[in-house]
A and B are shown apart, each in its own frame.
Chain A
Amino acid sequence: MTQVDRISGGLINRKETMNFSFNGKSLQGYKGDTLASALLANGIRLVGRSFKYHRPRGIFTSGSEEPNALVELRKGAFKEPNTRATVIELFNRLDAVSQNHKGPLNFDLMAATDLFLSPFVGAGFYYKTFMWPAAFWEKLYEPIIRKSAGLGSLAKLEDPDCYDKGFLHCDILIVGAGPAGLLAALAAGKSGAKVILADEDFLMGGRLNSELFEIDEMLGSDWALKAIQELSSLKNVRIMNRTTIYGSYDHGIFGALERCTDHLESSEGRPRQILWKIYSKKSILAAGAIERPIAFGNNDRPGIMTASSVRSYVNRWGVLPGRQTAIFTNNDDGWATAKVLADRGLEVAAVIDSRNCEPVENIPGTLVIMGSKIVNTTGRKRIKRIILSNGQSITCDCLAVSGGWSPNVHLTCHQGGRPKWDSTLNAFTPGENLPKNMVVSGSANGSFNLQAALRESLKVANIVLTDLDFKKSKIVVPSSSDDSYESSAFWYVKESKKRGWVDFQNDVTVKDIKQSFAEGFRSVEHMKRYTTMGMATDQGKTSNILGLAIMAECTGKTIQDTGTTIFRPPYTPIPLGALAGRSRGKDFRPYRLTPSHKWSEEQGAVFVEVGNWLRAQWFPKKGEKTWRETVDREVVSTRNSVGVCDVTTLGKIDIQGKDSADFLNIVYTNAFGKLPVGKVRYGLMLREDGIAYDDGTTARISKNHFIMTTTTANAVLVFRRLEFVRQCLCPDMDVHIISTTDAWAQFAVAGPNSRRLLEKVIDNEYDISNEKFPFMGCREITVCNGIQARLFRISFSGELAYELAIPTRYGDGLIRQLMEAGKEFDVTPYGTEALGVMRIEKGHAAGNELNGQTTALNLGLEKMINQNKDCIGKILAQRPEMNKEDEMRLVGFRPKNKGDKLVAGAHFLDKGAKEIIENDLGWMSSVCFSPILDDYIGLGFIKNGNQRMGDIVHAYDKMRHNSLDVKICSPHFVDPEGDRVRG
């Protein structure tokens, strides 16, 4: 098909033909076309179906405010729905299909909705219909509505494109590269400021590329091109076309989406889009204005578009939207379209101006009707006729509608600001509460006259430059047209008997808005939600003002008093992929590896995520069928001989200073002042409110040097807390802390043969016999012929155990050395699961027990709160409610019937007690299968637990249908006397 509606001129490159397809049909356009302009050039007017009523729809605008021409672009995994044809740059082999129709676009079966069902599906229909019978809702109505709802379809495949993010800093961010933005950028750039100039279009210049204005006696588009060339030569100016500034945030920060490869056939591995965070000292909003339509009967037919976009298609893209174009306007600007068409020798069927005034232009040979309105149109798939209020009917194949201009105030309102109504312009303009350091110029500020816009732009730029201590620009305001702009407050045609469309994308009509008022919705926010006006992907860019004006008329208030709804980012839709950036798949978040990770991988370890860490969970051996087999073996082997576990992930905090012991006395409940050098002590920390916070061991390396350990989960939190205490609570103390978690690889070596194994790697001069190195000792040693290390005799497993720390660079080497040296003892590597089983067998509390609800008393650690000193949390830990006689206590549990499976999370009730909150005695916090006892065991909290040893209670777990009787026992299932750890 040839480009039947292509005319001469335009800012396109006719030497570069682009082949594309729409709905399977092969078509051609040129480089510089958008999909919309190319479709129009090929004579295509019908491009989609409306959301609710499936009405035939055509291209309505030429910019990002487009409500109708939404297509699915690209195929397969690259498919993206709801892409506006007006902003898609044409590229070779572009493939687009129309949306929202069942059957072909030309014959949508769902159009029956408009023809037969429209009386039943007006605003808020779902509150009134599909109610009876109630049972039909879930089985019939909802599935049908769901199937027909939604716009576009997803590929349901992983997005193969990659995205990126970044941070930019500038002195001045200029939003919009129309005449105001370009002039401001020239002024600022030449004065030496660091400038970012961003525009959503691929061709900068704004309306200059669509109009025939002259600036300094050259065509506006040529002036724009020259300005951009000049700006490109300035090193301090960053030009970002294809970049939408989508949001304005605190402190001069803006969100921007740069489309890097959307205009190309393939991204070829490069990021498709970049989400930028732009930090600006000042910003100039020169984002222009958006033309409004007028609502009248059947104003949504294909071939009806905004008057300015008709000019865009003719002037910028060399496309003829219609061979007989009528114009309907309520302001001077609509006449510009008539003039452009007439000057090109193109037929203007009629100009209908709603105002009773003199014609603005002399358009020879054109029917001009002042003070009249259009009440209806005909032509289902393309407009054929307009019908006026006096009954007159005029033939046309395109209708250009101009309802006035709305300054693009979005970014001024993203931080809660509200625009103000200007009754001269009949538009909202930026309000008083602009985001900090933002100024507005050009038509975004209501300066619709080009000369005024340029003058204002330079003035504003100079104010900003002065504020930033740059010299004012020496640029002179260029000369240009100085036409006036008159408009009228005319929003919709009352005389229309047919439905007049306000929000095209969500199919909201004048009638819907009036109905919402009649049903009691007075607030504009309620009207919005009830009718869904302004809630589609275009966010009501062409509909909001009309809707507000109709609402104001209903309520009798002014438009100012009616107000607007809240403007929220993003200004235009952002792909979720861009928001995700690089956070996908394996790199969703950073991961931390232990020093033995590589070795563990070689052993076939199964890993578990513990926060950001990857820890070996268990080490399956060949032939083992289940994880339980593996874990049972690891536990038994460790308890019978020796096991090694990488415990590097536990937090390590280096504490030094003359007051470090006093500091520890404040953060721990128990005293550390008299801890001898070379000894380790278990410590408990409380929160300020007396709840248990964290536990760990702290070793005294020298008089003023301690090493604190924390749980893995709380490593960062405890460190932050210590810094807070150091800086804010004890600023005069001589104490300094630094994290050394990553600096030391640390391995637990546990079991009856642990000493013998370690003696093979520790250098000979160090005697680690029980006499010379008793339980809870620590010392600095060397291993493997002189490598600095630290040895701690502590035990989480309940066995004779040590933790050996070595600088991380030797961690991989050490695990290999330990395994080699341990062969004669059949050494077993064990993971977090076996670690967990052994600590439960021993009765050690861990994160499940220190869960933010429990106290030292609950944990059986109340005696650790030293009465002779203060500590964080001590006062509030003494509250009577936390120290009741029947307070919950940490105890052990076994199933009454051996072999029954215990489940953590079950709640305890006395036998026969009703399962209500009032009878709740506590809960099971940790459970495992103990291979040593050959039974399930658990730890948990129960009222008066320490007085109820041997009692049978009911562990109630309705959610998992696993309730059973359990016996209360000591939490120390293995080695309760502690002989093994001290051996």
Chain B
Amino acid sequence: MGKNLLSPISPLNGYSKSFGNNILEEVVDYEIFSLATSGEKESLIEQNIKKLFKVDLPFVGKSNVSENKKLRVMAVSLDQWFVLSNSGDLYSKLISNASFPDNIYVTMQTDAWVILRVSGTSALKALERICPVNLDPKIFQKNDMVRTMMEHLGSIVICEEKDSYLLLSASSSAKSFLHSVEVSLKNVI
């Protein structure tokens, strides 16, 4: 078979812009997939996830990053997790793996989301304008995550590190989402 005839386009076409000493950029090199498990004991779920991804299962509101920093698992609810991976086509490898446990259900989510990274000394101030959650670094620490609404759009906020946040929202409203973060940055710098 020849080369793919279609070129992929990310929701914001690789957007990247500086606002003073802050950067707002679309993150395009992540795969996202959701994981859900059947009513297994927690320890078994944990074992499966650890075996597959070499990372501990996080609590709700937290995410854990693999040692090689290429994979982040976050608990979006009691029985559902999101995996963000830039390990290159991990999803295909998982589902084509014969020994993949049949009590873990996977759904590809990459195209359902747009990911923005906002970083810089004004990142927190900008997020104050649209995020109702308390992102005070003493409370919302590295690798914490939260689901919330920002400018009427369902979103996920992840603290990557001090002054750097990943923001996820639905890909179909990516332009509106971008606009809300852009305006926030413009209004605080």
Contact = CB atoms under 8 A, between A and B. Distances in A.
Interface of A: 164-169, 194, 270-271, 274, 277, 279, 582, 587, 589-594, 612-613, 648, 654, 656-658, 704, 732, 734, 736, 738-744, 763, 783-787, 806-810, 812-814, 817
A784 B109 contact: no
Interface string B133-163: 1101000000000000001110000000000
B129 A165 contact: yes
B108 A743 contact: yes
Contacts of B80: 736, 738
Given A738-B34, A786-B4, A587 B111 contact: no
11 contacts: A164-B187, A166-B128, A167-B130, A270-B187, A592-B170, A592-B173, A657-B38, A734-B38, A743-B109, A784-B6, A787-B4
A589 B8 contact: no
Contacts of B103: 734
Given A168-B128, A590-B153, A742-B112, A809 B9 contact: yes
Interface string B145-189: 000000111000000000000000011110111011001000100
Contacts of B109: 738, 740, 743
Interface string B30-47: 000010101100000000
Given A590-B153, A590-B173, A742-B172, A169 B136 contact: yes
A497 B11 CA distance: 76
Residue in A591, A594, A817 whose Cβ sees the most chain B Cβ within 10 Å: A591
A10 B69 CA distance: 62
A657 B105 contact: yes
A740 B109 CA distance: 7
A656 B36 contact: yes
A924 to B, nearest CB: 34
Nearest to B177: A590
Residue in B11, B39, B105, B132 whose Cβ sees the most chain A Cβ within 10 Å: B105
B175 A591 contact: yes
Contact of A807 (B7, B110, B131): B110
B76 to A, nearest CB: 10
Contact of A279 (B7, B108, B134, B183): B134
A200 to B, nearest CB: 21
Interface of B: 1-11, 34, 36, 38-39, 79-80, 103, 105, 107-113, 128-134, 136, 151-153, 170-173, 175-177, 179-180, 183, 187
Residue in A167, A613, A658, A810 whose Cβ sees the most chain B Cβ within 10 Å: A167
A591 B132 contact: no
Contacts of B4: 784-787
A186 B113 CA distance: 46
B171 A813 contact: no
Nearest to A784: B5
Residue in A270, A657, A742, A813 whose Cβ sees the most chain B Cβ within 10 Å: A742
A164 B33 CA distance: 35
A612 B172 CA distance: 10
B81 to A, nearest CB: 11
B6 A810 contact: yes
Contacts of B172: 592-594, 613, 648, 741-742, 808
A509 to B, nearest CB: 47
Contacts of A594: 172
A167 B5 contact: no
Contacts of B112: 739-743, 808
Contacts of B171: 742-743, 808
A810 B173 contact: no
B107 A656 contact: yes
A612 B136 contact: no
A813 B7 contact: yes
Contacts of B131: 167
A743 B111 contact: yes
A743 B113 CA distance: 8
Interchain residue pairs A-B with the least CB separation, the first 5 = A813-B6, A736-B36, A590-B176, A743-B112, A784-B5
Contacts of A194: 136
Contacts of A612: 173
Given A592-B172, A813-B5, 19 more contacts: A590-B176, A590-B177, A613-B172, A648-B172, A734-B39, A738-B36, A740-B109, A741-B112, A743-B110, A784-B6, A785-B1, A785-B4, A786-B1, A807-B8, A808-B112, A809-B9, A809-B110, A810-B6, A817-B5
Residue in B6, B134, B136, B180 whose Cβ sees the most chain A Cβ within 10 Å: B6
Contacts of B151: 582, 590
A102 to B, nearest CB: 42
A813 B11 CA distance: 13
Contacts of B173: 590-593, 612
Contacts of B9: 809-810, 812-813
B79 A742 contact: no
Contacts of A271: 187
Residue in A168, A194, A743, A763 whose Cβ sees the most chain B Cβ within 10 Å: A743
A270 B184 CA distance: 11
A807 B108 contact: yes
A741 B5 CA distance: 24
Contacts of A166: 128-130
A785 B180 contact: no
A164 to B, nearest CB: 5
